[in-house]
Amino acid sequence: MILANKGQSVVPDISFIGGTALTLNKTNDIIENAQIDILHGRIVSIKSVSKPTQLLAKKIIDASGCLVMPGLINGHTHTGMTLLRGIADDLPLHNWLNDKIFPLEKKWVSKDFVYLGNLLAQLEMIRSGTTIFNDMYYFEAAAAQAVQESGLRAICGQTLVEISGVEDTQKIFAQFDQYLEAIAHFPRVLPAIAPHSIYGVSDPVWEKITQYASERSLRVHLHLQETKSEVEDCQKKRNMTPTEFFEKVGLFRNKTIVAHAVCMEEKDISILSKYQVGVIHNPESNLKLGSLIAPVVKMRDAGVSIGLGTDGTASNNNLDLLEEADTALKLQIFQTGVGKLKALDVVRMLTLEGAKALKLDHEIGSLEVGKSADLIAVNTEFPHAVPLYDPFSHLAYSASGRDVKHSVVGGSVLMENGKVLTLDEKAILQEAKQWGRRIASGIS
């Protein structure tokens, strides 16, 4: 099947050849023996060929035995905290956060900590097929610097936590202005403001955030209704749910992305649908911290776009989105019965639907002519991939991030044949291990 190849005469920069392309377009076209041509960072042609026709491409990537698909979208991360992977397990969210994570962050988080944590996280993400992540943390300019080096894309959301009232508001927004300026020159980074949660920011500041984001067309990224107690506390204090509160202050008139949405009433879901708020489901983090199961099927039925996220490595503990898809699917089967959410659905949540949740579906999320060339090749030459009747079933239930062989973002090759080309893997691992030893010893 030829999707587009009209009048093409220029030599592509890259041609992917030999794989099975999962376009994840509207009709989920699957193209056997696919040749995907890339020029100036964009997909210019996708077609099935008995033998490659564009061997003149400046670079040929052999994807034989692979599923070639849009890069995976990690909709909710805290990449800066990757050096805290595995440091506090087996605790419920409240104790995990207040007794372990917040004190550790207070002691260790710095620009250097976030930069190295990002290099480590981005290395892991490239290896496991992620091509864009939506982040929320401190020192996000350091995260953006790492993005510049790794070749990935990111929405870098500088966290805003403000629990002491409004006295420092001016300072907070002045710092935010500086942050926006600092990351403005990174071409693959989009800025966001990331107020932590309903309990992390005081009510008057929510109004200011709403206005600030609206004046600058900024994305807003926050945690929403992750636990029952978060909703109950808000009901007691404001006589409404956090979702109702955010509607009241006008926050959702901005491009808003909410992580979790676990404890949702019907009225909350209607509000998210009404404002097309993007929801990011983080099943492994929710399970690990004992936060119940998000009503993914219900929200999708109501027209809410849902992407998948890993959350930070301290609550997962890896950044493997294919594992996340497997968990998401089985959780919904457990909650709603078999067949309400299917393998293809979770693969779409990792790609086009995830892009829609981030308001980027015009650029990424599917293999279509004109879209940015952000794609990966997942190797199926493994025992766990044989036989392969349905590629979506394979990706959702059997594959893992370790199977990813090639990765390209915006036409630049980040990984080829399992080797990351943009980062010095050995040096990053060595430095991260040193940090780990320092953190474990407690001596800063």
Nearer to Zn ion, 170 or 229 (CB): 229
Min dist. Cβ of residue 355 to Zn ion (A):
20
Q: Within 278-317, which residues bind Zn ion (CB under 5 A)?
A: 311
Min dist. Cβ of residue 77 to Zn ion (A):
8
Min dist. Cβ of residue 59 to Zn ion (A):
37
Nearer to Zn ion, 96 or 392 (CB): 96
Min dist. Cβ of residue 280 to Zn ion (A):
9
Torsion sign, CA atoms 107, 110, 113, 114: positive
Q: Is 124 in the site for Zn ion (CB under 5 A)?
A: no
Nearer to Zn ion, 196 or 238 (CB): 196
H-type alpha helices, 184-282:
203-216, 228-238, 242-249, 266-274
Nearer to Zn ion, 158 or 412 (CB): 158
- Alpha-carbon distance values, 166 to 106, 161, 214 (Å): 22, 12, 20
Nearer to Zn ion, 26 or 106 (CB): 106
Min dist. Cβ of residue 438 to Zn ion (A):
25
Nearer to Zn ion, 311 or 374 (CB): 311
Min dist. Cβ of residue 398 to Zn ion (A):
28
The answer to whether the CB of 394 falls within 8 A of the CB of 380 is yes
Q: Helix, strand or coil for residue 224?
A: strand
Report how far apart the first and last C-alpha atoms of the chain are (Å, whole number): 59
Nearer to Zn ion, 163 or 421 (CB): 163
What are the two backbone dihedrals, phi and then psi, of residue 14, each rounded to the nearest 5 degrees?
-140, 140
Min dist. Cβ of residue 124 to Zn ion (A):
17
Nearer to Zn ion, 105 or 311 (CB): 311
Min dist. Cβ of residue 412 to Zn ion (A):
29
The answer to whether the CB of 350 falls within 8 A of the CB of 399 is no
Which residue's CB comes closest to Zn ion?
Answer: 311
**What mask of x and - would describe binding to Zn ion in positions 350 to 369, judged by CB under 5 A?**
--------------------
- Alpha-carbon distance values, 291 to 78, 108, 230, 263 (Å): 18, 26, 11, 9
H-type alpha helices, 128-202:
140-150, 169-183
The answer to whether the CB of 272 falls within 8 A of the CB of 261 is yes
Min dist. Cβ of residue 109 to Zn ion (A):
15
DSSP assignment letter at 155: E
The answer to whether the CB of 279 falls within 8 A of the CB of 261 is yes
Nearer to Zn ion, 36 or 120 (CB): 120
**What mask of x and - would describe binding to Zn ion in positions 55 to 94, judged by CB under 5 A?**
----------------------------------------
Min dist. Cβ of residue 254 to Zn ion (A):
19
Structural tokens at position 282 = 């983080």
The answer to whether the CB of 205 falls within 8 A of the CB of 169 is yes
Question: CB pairs under 8 A, 24+ apart, for 331-335?
Answer: 331/283, 331/287, 331/293, 331/296, 332/293, 332/296, 332/297, 334/293, 335/293, 335/295, 335/297
Nearer to Zn ion, 37 or 311 (CB): 311
How crowded is the C-beta side of 216, counted as CA atoms within 13 Å?
Answer: 18
Q: What angle do CA 205, 207, 212 make, to 5 degrees?
A: 90
Alpha-carbon span 127 to 122, nearest angstrom: 8
Return left, alpha or beta for 411; rule: phi > 0 is left, psi -120 to 50 is alpha, else beta: left
Nearer to Zn ion, 136 or 352 (CB): 136
> Residues touching Zn ion: how many (CB under 5 A)?
1
Min dist. Cβ of residue 311 to Zn ion (A):
5
- CA 271, distance to chain mean position in Å, is 23
Instruction: Note the residues at the interface with Zn ion (CB under 5 A).
Output: 311
